[in-house]
Amino acid sequence: MSDLAPSARETARVAGRNARVFSKLWKGSLLPQFLDPLFYLVALGFGLGTYIASINGVPYKDFIAPGLIASAAMWSASFECTYNVYLRMNETKLYDAILATPIEVPDLVAGDLAWSSLRATIYGTVFLIVVAAFGLIDSWWALAIPPLVVIGGLAFSTMAYTFTALIPRIDLYSYFFTLGITPMFLFSGIFFPFDRLPAVAEVVAWFTPLYHMVEITRALAAGPPGADVLLNAAVLLAMSAALFAIPVRAVRRRLVA
Amino acid sequence: MVARALRKSYGERVAVDAVDFAVEPGTCFGFLGPNGAGKTTMMKMIYGLATVDGGELQVLGMDVATQRREVKARLGVVPQETNLDGEFSVLENLIVQASYYGVPEREAEPRARELLDFCQLADRAEEKIWSLSGGMKRRLLVARALVNRPEIVVLDEPTTGLDPQARLALWREMESLKDRGVTLLLTTHYMEEAARLCDRLVIIDLGRIVAEGEPRELMREHDAETLEEVFLTLTGRHLREELVEGGARGIS
């Protein structure tokens, strides 16, 4: 297993490179991504929500707001670990340059994932602040959301990275986004609850990371959470841990043959 | 650096076939061969981007199969393909590269500026990569290969595709590195380059070493005026076959 274990020092160096790029770009090309969840909140929460009195006693905009924090993190991680990683690995050949330094494949993958989780947390936290400014957060427990978004961000990142490491062509991302991310966004409990749907809907959703992230953000935004939140976090960690070896092996096969 | 019975194959294709060589510290060692001879594969085995299938490869007294990270820490690499970091300026490319070796920024920046002076890119420090010419990119790759103060620098066809001025500038840099006691490993298919820079060289064809020696020694042995003749005698098989075939069909 030692050929899969990243070194903390080298991992931090890779993450540092990515953070440095972000620090240059966030004010420019990455700014629109901050606005994305806001449009959903306004259109659905304040628009559609005017016609929907409440869901289980919660006003509709209050219902969807915490879920959109979770999806903000998901979209961030999904962009970072798809196109960005693909280009560095296959087009600009930057990974060949990095792997010729003391950085090894597990460090490279872990460093990208660590940064992507952090970036997801930045997007999630920015949107948490926006939502709080709209008065849609009821509890100080919401302060626990950012550290837990790190865990969710890791799961989203690992999922996207796994796909990236396995695909031979960049156009295959249409499968990832159209058949993976978009349905997950719509059917993981952000926009409607599961309690009046057939039980199978929630069972299917349970296997997606977004379901668990939404459970966490919604519970913390509303007040003292139940112990379930810990289970949700554990599932997210387990998903990341279960997948990690796949991109490490695939990247190694691709770059260090 | 010592290689013994070094082997590498990709599926059925043998890229490196039982190769032995030894490089003395502080010298320039050349790998000459036609395209596809296995030069790049050999370089990649040295700097950790290709695994060793058989035999042994020792760099700075360490086995690359088991101590890859330690070996890479003391190597500099100028790859065949330009893979600079397009997100950063010229100067930042060096600073970020240094960070991969654990050199903190306050130390990396003066070192990077020094290297830009050395590679005559000081006036381009703040520019983006895409604004550099091909020759400048190559020189920046050389500067990048030096940020960790390596004992060995691997240069994989560093002058391919460059104009004569850019080539000369790179040769001067390589000579100056040699003067400082850095060991150079150079692959090339330019005979003039090999004759000028290399203390010793091997000629490779189809993954095997077909000749080894000092440039002058090789010319004498093969009774040739230039290294190019030696090279063509030893690796020009395809060319000769084509000529013979053409002749047989009455084409000249």
A170 — pLDDT class (breaks 50, 70, 90): very high
Nearest neighbour of B69 by CB, restricted to A21, A94, A104: A104
Among B85, B94, B128, the residue to mutate for chain A (most A Cβ within 10 A): B85
Question: Nearest CA to CA, how far is B87 from chain A (Å)?
Answer: 6
A248 — pLDDT class (breaks 50, 70, 90): very high
Question: Nearest CA to CA, how far is B209 from chain A (Å)?
Answer: 22
- pLDDT for A1 equals 47
What's B89's DSSP letter? B
For residue A21 the two structure tokens come to 């790029």
C-alpha torsion sign, points A182, A188, A192, A194: positive
CA distances (Å), origin A122, targets A125, A129, B216: 5, 11, 63
Nearest CA in chain B to A9: B102
Residues of B with CB under 8 A from a CB of A: 10, 47-51, 68-70, 72-73, 75, 77, 79, 81, 83-88, 92, 96-97, 99-102, 144, 148
Strands B75-78 and B208-213, sheet pairing: unpaired
- Between A8-22, A44-58, A158-172, B43-57, the lowest mean confidence (pLDDT) is in A44-58
- Between A44-58, A87-101, A132-146, A208-222, the lowest mean confidence (pLDDT) is in A44-58
Nearest CA in chain B to A251: B49
What's A181's DSSP letter? I
Taking residues B71-90, what's their average pLDDT?
96
Write down the mean pLDDT value for chain A.
94
A32 — pLDDT class (breaks 50, 70, 90): confident
In the predicted model, is pLDDT for residue A223 greater than 90?
Answer: no
CA-based Rg of chain A, rounded to a whole angstrom? 19
- pLDDT for B137 equals 95
In the predicted model, is pLDDT for residue B240 greater than 70?
Answer: no
Among B83, B91, B138, the residue to mutate for chain A (most A Cβ within 10 A): B83
Instruction: Measure the CA–CA gap between B219 and B195, rounded to whole angstroms.
Output: 10
Nearest neighbour of A101 by CB, restricted to B50, B81, B100: B100
ipTM summary value: 0.92
Question: Nearest CA to CA, how far is B250 from chain A (Å)?
Answer: 45
Nearest CA in chain B to A84: B87
Instruction: Measure the CA–CA gap between B170 and B159, rounded to whole angstroms.
Output: 7
Taking residues B56-70, what's their average pLDDT?
95
Task: Please state the pTM of the whole predicted model.
Answer: 0.93
Terminal-to-terminal C-alpha distance of chain B? 46
Nearest CA in chain B to A88: B85
Nearest neighbour of B69 by CB, restricted to A24, A98, A102: A102
Among A101, A103, A115, A253, the residue to mutate for chain B (most B Cβ within 10 A): A101
Q: Tell me the per-residue pLDDT of B144-180, one tens digit each, with 9 for 90 and over.
A: 999 999 999 999 999 988 889 989 999 999 999 999 9
The one-letter code for the residue type at B232 is L
